[in-house]
Structure 1
């Protein structure tokens, strides 16, 4: 007989282990949203007030609160994730050459235009107008950089248009409008956004190698219509209402490389020939469409004298170069603000991250770079106001190129080092510094990459010696306050004298050395004059002193880094 065993089910009598909680979020920074980017930026506020822009504090405070909101930051994310899309044809096969943007991009554009980040300095010219405009532009660009391209070009086009009064009468009032209308619309559309297109694939920065041809539609000459045929390698913001382009003029009225205004919509309401060949797949600047375009019998109006196209459009280039400086400084501000925010909320190795000496040094060094860029940028903006003295005009001619070279070159590595402060978070697209890292190089490339700008500095030194004297007078205002800076100023004078004796090849070989030395002299002198001693002393020691390091955070000892960080 087989023995039977009874199996007792004891499942309900055994106490099951409680599940372990794995997803309590600890030791992460709070979201940096709903903050006032103007109130939290004492460096920018002080600079605005110092350079006669205090009358703009009210609107700048509104902008600071707006761009710090969670919604504006979300729009910035959307505009860069859902990127512009080209529609060359409609569903029936008609050529339309339109670019579709996410609505978030248009909301950002409307806010920037509505607050005058484009042409407020022209619409309300008074002491500090360019200062207030620069601060507005920087705060919008701090959070979303791509839209700043058409905003900048619309600002910069005004002095070029005014060289042709009949053209200016039609277009300047539209550019000054604070209304943003994204559709191309009709010829009587009351507002306008501007773009520019100079480069071609065979020439790049050598625009005199352009092959686009302009044939007069009538008698030709300034203010007259031409028909353009050619291919432009880069054209940013192709949905702008009008563009300044360069082309080789032909005909009895004058020949040579000339400047032309190309509208997207013709006076009779039809679309001008403006074939968008493709959108560029760029490293960064994703929200802003950049394109190749084909012109084929495209109607354009000559602006300025025949054969003087570079001289005409250089007025626009000078202003967009300033905006490259503003954009790079704005990016540095975003980078240091995000890095310090993270470090103040994060603990590691037994203490808050910002208080760890190694991290304190890195953050303070990043803050020094950001403050130097901001102070320099706003000083340059003031020199562009209508009441600028002759000396300031000469100063800005050289100093804008010097600062464009240096500040824009410092941007990418600054963004990288700030990104690293966030560790793995910084390397993800969920945090804004990955996008900032991709954005910063465009400011160095656009409107003249490093060698182009350095050579432009050399040309200015030869052709406009008064600009060298004005630059020297500006930096010399800080002399006597810091012995290390004084020694550097002496070295810059010797270097300028040395380069002046070289032939063209020798001067080119030394161009970057010269411009770097001048840029550091300018930044250090401005900080010595305007910033707290803790900041200026640290900057001079870190950038000019005998114990200066190469990487951010490799600082000399004895600096008041806490005071530096308090301003970040």
Structure 2
């Protein structure tokens, strides 16, 4: 019917390569993983297909369902997952987004993995077990015998779902159970007890408040042993094929991240094995936390890029008041600001991936830089995510508020990444802790920032202000967010001045560092090359 003729609507954004991101591709080369370019593009093209995007949509729209008992009353503690979820997991594992980098001797393996994590942006929920499987490996190495048994299966690129004894599977997925209802981030308040057994194992009894991906094969968990808070490996199924005494109480009804089951669980004498030494549980698991914090930063950068591309795509194909949206000055300001925020996040996230790769290969300077760089970037990048997604949604108007646009799902996901592995205050205070306990991390951080010294007056002035803030120890905890924000901004500014096109670096320094900026995105000053910036947010279908 003539009244149903569709005009002035953008075409679907499908058939594109999500790896068509100039900031990402430049960082891939710069951080030593240019050899993975073909792999990253292959995954990016898959992410841009209609099929993969439908997997992501279905996995969230048909969330996990808990079955505690079977029809006869027997306890089964099963979580039913839609087939699309398994397609997502199989793709992620098959492309090495999980722990495969630990088995890859090539320099840059962790950078390549980070780039693939960024471009595989069709669903954030399944990224949680993928991230935890990546992060569990270095912690598990504190127990060499356990690592020898399970690490080859954790790094396998075969996805093998189903509840069976871990050693009999061809690939494993891991999770962690740290928090309890009485403590949250204060894990030393945990009350779960671990009782040693004659065979060297322990029996865990207690309640865990958040256990994501409870159908994983293995979990790292914290519990109070005779020697204090300790780290344990808890299998979902025991070697004889029986279920471990780990009972699922309920699944959390969450704002977003709905494709990923998050459960409250009870340990009722669950069998576990000590990882590391008794009383050193936090120290043992801290590297796992650092790696999942890296993935929070990468995940936020991925969400920002996805939102930016959707906004730019819409604006290039939608007209209002006689002009395309992308040609209207105020919309151009908003789009350019979205691109700048996205590129700053991607650039710093990939720099931290490079530092991680070099740190695990023994570079102590890079390890020190990562300590501070990751703490401040996890705070700031993840804090910026929700506001960025909200502004991108506004670029589509009412269309952006509709689920089919994809932006509501991005908007719901991003607050989680600011909360997970330490919400804003925890992340900011962790940066202060690094300053006090590891002063060399501040030195390495400032040495990184100083690589751009003299290249831009606005950056130099901002660094001078940061140094002044750091020298003032009065009320430092009260000022923690202010200090950490400025540290994150000068790091992003330094990286962009050195590596980004002049248009992007100029816009960042003018707005974020020189404070010629309003209280919302889309308030960039005049005189910037907005066209060159917006062009970096354009993707086109590939043949």
Q: 1:234 aligns with which of 193, 201, 210?
A: 210
Once the two structures are superposed, residues 518-557 of structure 1 have per-residue CA deviations (whole angstroms, 9 ceiling, x without a partner) of 0000001000000011110111101112422211111111
Question: Counterpart of 2:156?
Answer: 177
Q: Distance in 2 between matches of 1:248 and 1:402?
A: 31
Match of 2:471 among 497, 504, 508: 497
Structure 1 residue 389, shift from structure 2 partner: 2.5
The Cα shift of 1:186 comes to 3.2
Q: Which residue matches 1:186?
A: 165
1:400 aligns with 2:374: yes
Deviation, 1:60, is 0.8
Asked whether the equivalents of residues 129 and 213 of structure 2 are also in contact (C-alpha less than 8 Å), the reply is yes
Change (3 A) 1:74 1:539: same
Deviations 1:449-481 (A, max 9, x none): 011111111110010000000000000101101
- Residue 483 of structure 1 corresponds to which residue in structure 2? 457
Q: Which residue of 2 aligns with 1:165?
A: 144
- Cα deviation for residue 388 of structure 1 reads 5.6
User: Of the candidates 172, 176, 197, which is equivalent to residue 196 of structure 1?
Assistant: 176
* Conserved 8 A contact 1:143-1:334: no
* Aligned 1:455-470 pairs, distance under 5 A: 455-470=429-444
1:536 aligns with 2:505: yes
CA distance in 1, matches of 2:498, 2:56: 36
Determine if the alignment matches structure 1 residue 566 to structure 2 residue 535. Answer: yes
Alignment of 1:313-324 (within 5 A): 313-324=285-296
Q: What residue is the counterpart of 1:11 in the other structure?
A: none
1:382–1:388: 8 Å Cα contact kept in structure 2?
no
Please tell me whether Structure 1 or Structure 2 has the larger radius of gyration of its CA atoms: 1
Counterparts of 1:66 and 1:123 in 2: how far apart (Å)? 24
> Normalising to structure 1: TM-score of the pair?
0.93
> What is the 5 A alignment of 1:149-548?
149-187=128-166, 188-218=168-198, 224-250=200-226, 255-385=227-357, 386-387=360-361, 389-499=363-473, 502=474, 506-548=475-517
> Which residues of structure 1 form unaligned runs of 5+?
1-19
Equivalent in the alignment of 1:139:
119
- Contact 2:462/2:514 (8 A) holds in 1: no
CA contact (8 A) 2:194 2:205 kept: yes
Consecutive unaligned residues in structure 2, runs of 5 or more: 538-543
SS of residue in 1 equivalent to 2:268: strand
In the alignment, the residues of structure 2 paired with residue 67 and residue 356 of structure 1 have an alpha-carbon distance, to the nearest angstrom, of: 31
Q: Is the 8 A contact 1:109 1:147 kept in 2?
A: yes
- Give the match for residue 7 of structure 1: none
C-alpha distance in 2 between matches for 1:43 and 1:317: 26
* Range moving further from structure 2, 537-546 or 451-460: 537-546
Deviation per CA, 1:186-224: give whole Å up to 9, x if none: 3411211000010000000000000000001127xxxx3
1:509 alignment partner, SS class? coil
1:17 paired residue number: none
CA distance in 1, matches of 2:206, 2:355: 38
In 2 relative to 1, CA 470–94 (structure 1 residues): closer, same or farther, beyond 3 Å?
same
For residues 146 and 36 of structure 1, the distance between their equivalents in structure 2, rounded to whole angstroms, comes to 21
Q: In structure 2, how many angstroms separate the alpha carbons of the residues matched to 1:387 and 1:192?
A: 24
Query: How far, CA to CA, are the matches of 2:225 and 2:371 in structure 1?
Result: 29
SS at match of 2:274: strand
Query: What SS does structure 2 have at the residue aligned with 1:271?
Result: coil
Q: Do the aligned residues in 2 keep the contact of 1:419 with 1:427 (CA within 8 Å)?
A: yes
Deviation of 1:21 (Å)? 2.1
Q: Is the CA contact 2:333–2:524 (under 8 Å) kept in the aligned structure 1?
A: yes
In the alignment, is the contact (CA less than 8 A) between 2:23 and 2:347 conserved in 1?
A: yes
| Separation (CA, whole Å) in 1 of partners of 2:336 and 2:33 | 27
Q: How far apart, CA to CA, are the structure 2 residues paired with 1:305 and 1:317? A: 18
Q: Following TM superposition, by how much is the alpha carbon of 1:125 offset from its aligned partner in structure 2, in angstroms? A: 2.9
Shift of 1:126: 2.5
* CA–CA separation in structure 1 for the residues paired with 2:163 and 2:24: 36
- Count residues with an aligned counterpart: 534
Which 10-residue stretch deviates more, 537-546 or 311-320? 537-546
User: Deviation string for 1:83-117 (max 9, x for gaps)?
Assistant: 00001111221111010110000000000000001
For 1:311 and 1:186, locate their aligned partners in 2 and report how far apart those are by CA, in whole Å: 28
Contact 2:382 2:415 in 1 (8 A): yes
